[in-house]
Chain A
Amino acid sequence: MAEEATVKIYRGDNESGEMVEYKIPLVPGMVVLDAVHTAQAMQAPDLAVRWNCKAGKCGSCSGEVNGKPKLMCMDRMDKYPDGEPITIRPMKSFRVLKDLACDVSWNYEVNKQIPAFKMQDTGGEEPKFSQEEADRVQEFRKCIECFLCQNVCHVLREHDKKEEFGGPRFFVRAAGLEMHPLDDENRLGLLKDELGLGYCNITKCCTEVCPESITITDNAIIPLKERVVDEFYDPVKKLLRIVFPK
Chain B
Amino acid sequence: MDKYQTFEYDVIVVGAGGAGLRAAIEASAGGAKTALVCKSLLGKAHTVMAEGGVAAALHNVDTRDDWKVHFRDTMKGGKFLNQWRMAQLHAQEAPDRVRELEEWGAVFDRTKDGRMLQRNFGGHTYPRLAHVGDRTGLEMIRTLQDKGVHAGIDVHMECTIRSILKDGERVAGCFGYQRESGRFVVFRAKSVVLATGGIGRCWEITSNSWEYTADGHAMAMWAGADLIDMEFVQFHPTGMVWPPSVKGTLITEGVRGEGGVLLNSEGERFMFDNVPEMFQGDYAETQEEATQWVQEVIAGKQATVRRPPELLTRDVVARAIRKEVRAGRGSPHGGVFLDIASRRSAEEIKKKLPSMYHQFKELADVDITTDPMEVGPTCHYMMGGIRVDPETQQSTMPGLFAAGESAGGMHGSNRLGGNSLSDLLVFGKRAGEHAAKYASETNSIGEINADEVQRVAGESLKPFDDSDGENPYTVHEELRTVMQNLVGIVRTDEDLRSALGEFEELRERAAKVKVDGNIQFNPGWHLALDLKNMLDISEAVTRAALERTESRGGHTREDHPGSDDEWGKVNNIVRQTDSGIGVFREPLSEMPDELRQLLNSE
Known contacts A48-B522, A52-B211; A40 and B48 CB within 8 A of each other: no
Please indicate the chain A residues that have their CB under 8 angstroms from the CB of B359 in the complex.
Answer: 55-56
Output the nearest chain A residue to B515 by Cβ-Cβ distance.
A45
Judge whether B523 and A45 touch: CB under 8 Å: yes
Among A104-112, A150-158, A217-225, the stretch that binds chain B is A104-112
B306 within 8 A of A: no
Judge whether A45 and B44 touch: CB under 8 Å: no
Judge whether B149 and A111 touch: CB under 8 Å: yes
Judge whether A144 and B210 touch: CB under 8 Å: no
Please report the C-alpha to C-alpha distance between residue A72 and residue B34 in the assembled complex, in whole angstroms: 35
Output the nearest chain A residue to B240 by Cβ-Cβ distance.
A55
Judge whether A57 and B107 touch: CB under 8 Å: no
Please report the C-alpha to C-alpha distance between residue A149 and residue B45 in the assembled complex, in whole angstroms: 21
Known contacts A31-B363, A128-B115, A141-B107; A112 and B149 CB within 8 A of each other: yes
Please report the C-alpha to C-alpha distance between residue A28 and residue B363 in the assembled complex, in whole angstroms: 10
Judge whether A54 and B249 touch: CB under 8 Å: yes
Contact of B362 among A42, A44, A58, A74 (CB under 8 A): A74
Interface residue count on the A side (C-beta < 8 Å): 58
Judge whether A97 and B521 touch: CB under 8 Å: yes
Q: State the main secondary structure of chain A at its contact with B.
A: loop
Among A15-23, A129-137, A188-196, A226-234, the stretch that binds chain B is A129-137
Q: Which of A28, A45, A104, A180 has the most CB of B within 10 A?
A: A45
Please report the C-alpha to C-alpha distance between residue A41 and residue B273 in the assembled complex, in whole angstroms: 44
Output the nearest chain B residue to A147 by Cβ-Cβ distance.
B41
Please report the C-alpha to C-alpha distance between residue A56 and residue B245 in the assembled complex, in whole angstroms: 13
Known contacts A104-B41, A117-B146, A142-B135; A31 and B211 CB within 8 A of each other: no
**Interface residue range, chain B:** 35 or more
Please indicate the chain A residues that have their CB under 8 angstroms from the CB of B102 in the complex.
Answer: 127
Judge whether A141 and B209 touch: CB under 8 Å: no
Please report the C-alpha to C-alpha distance between residue A108 and residue B244 in the assembled complex, in whole angstroms: 35
Judge whether B209 and A51 touch: CB under 8 Å: yes
Judge whether A41 and B473 touch: CB under 8 Å: yes
B326 within 8 A of A: no
Contact of B49 among A58, A111, A145 (CB under 8 A): A58
B554 within 8 A of A: no
Known contacts A56-B358, A74-B363; A46 and B517 CB within 8 A of each other: yes
Please report the C-alpha to C-alpha distance between residue A49 and residue B158 in the assembled complex, in whole angstroms: 12
Judge whether B473 and A129 touch: CB under 8 Å: no
Contact of B210 among A51, A141, A177, A183 (CB under 8 A): A51
Output the nearest chain B residue to A28 by Cβ-Cβ distance.
B243
The proximity string for B residues 33-77 relative to A, scoring 1 for CB distances below 8 Å and 0 otherwise, is: 000000011111110110000000000000000000000000000
Please report the C-alpha to C-alpha distance between residue A45 and residue B525 in the assembled complex, in whole angstroms: 8
Please indicate the chain B residues that have their CB under 8 angstroms from the CB of A99 in the complex.
Answer: 521
The proximity string for B residues 95-114 relative to A, scoring 1 for CB distances below 8 Å and 0 otherwise, is: 00000001111011110011
Please indicate the chain A residues that have their CB under 8 angstroms from the CB of B133 in the complex.
Answer: 138
Chain B nearest CB, measured from A49 CB (Å): 7
A29 within 8 A of B: yes
Please report the C-alpha to C-alpha distance between residue A110 and residue B147 in the assembled complex, in whole angstroms: 15
Please indicate the chain B residues that have their CB under 8 angstroms from the CB of A30 in the complex.
Answer: 243-245
Known contacts A74-B362, A131-B109; A119 and B103 CB within 8 A of each other: yes
Judge whether B147 and A131 touch: CB under 8 Å: no
Please indicate the chain A residues that have their CB under 8 angstroms from the CB of B515 in the complex.
Answer: 45-46
A240 within 8 A of B: no
Please indicate the chain B residues that have their CB under 8 angstroms from the CB of A52 in the complex.
Answer: 40, 44-46, 48-49, 209-211
Please indicate the chain B residues that have their CB under 8 angstroms from the CB of A47 in the complex.
Answer: 523
Contact of B523 among A27, A29, A49, A105 (CB under 8 A): A49
A162 within 8 A of B: no
B364 within 8 A of A: yes
Please indicate the chain B residues that have their CB under 8 angstroms from the CB of A168 in the complex.
Answer: none
Chain B nearest CB, measured from A10 CB (Å): 13
Output the nearest chain B residue to A112 by Cβ-Cβ distance.
B149
Output the nearest chain B residue to A173 by Cβ-Cβ distance.
B146
A76 within 8 A of B: yes
Please report the C-alpha to C-alpha distance between residue A17 and residue B150 in the assembled complex, in whole angstroms: 38
Please indicate the chain B residues that have their CB under 8 angstroms from the CB of A183 in the complex.
Answer: 105
A197 within 8 A of B: no
The proximity string for A residues 86-129 relative to B, scoring 1 for CB distances below 8 Å and 0 otherwise, is: 00000000000111010011001001100111010000001111
10 residue pairs, one from A and one from B, having the closest CB atoms? A29-B243, A45-B524, A117-B105, A46-B517, A128-B114, A41-B473, A48-B521, A29-B245, A131-B110, A98-B521
| Interface residues in chain A, defined as those with a beta carbon under 8 Å from any beta carbon in chain B | 27-31, 34, 40-42, 44-60, 74, 76, 97-99, 101, 104-105, 108, 111-112, 115-117, 119, 126-131, 133-134, 137-138, 141-142, 144-145, 177, 180, 183
- 4 A-B pairs besides A116-B147, A141-B132 with CB distance below 8 A are A31-B363, A45-B472, A55-B363, A180-B107
24 pairs, CB–CB < 8 Å, chain A vs chain B:
A28-B245, A30-B243, A31-B245, A41-B471, A46-B517, A48-B523, A50-B44, A53-B46, A55-B355, A56-B355, A56-B359, A57-B48, A57-B49, A58-B49, A74-B362, A98-B521, A105-B157, A108-B149, A108-B157, A128-B115, A134-B107, A138-B107, A141-B142, A144-B138
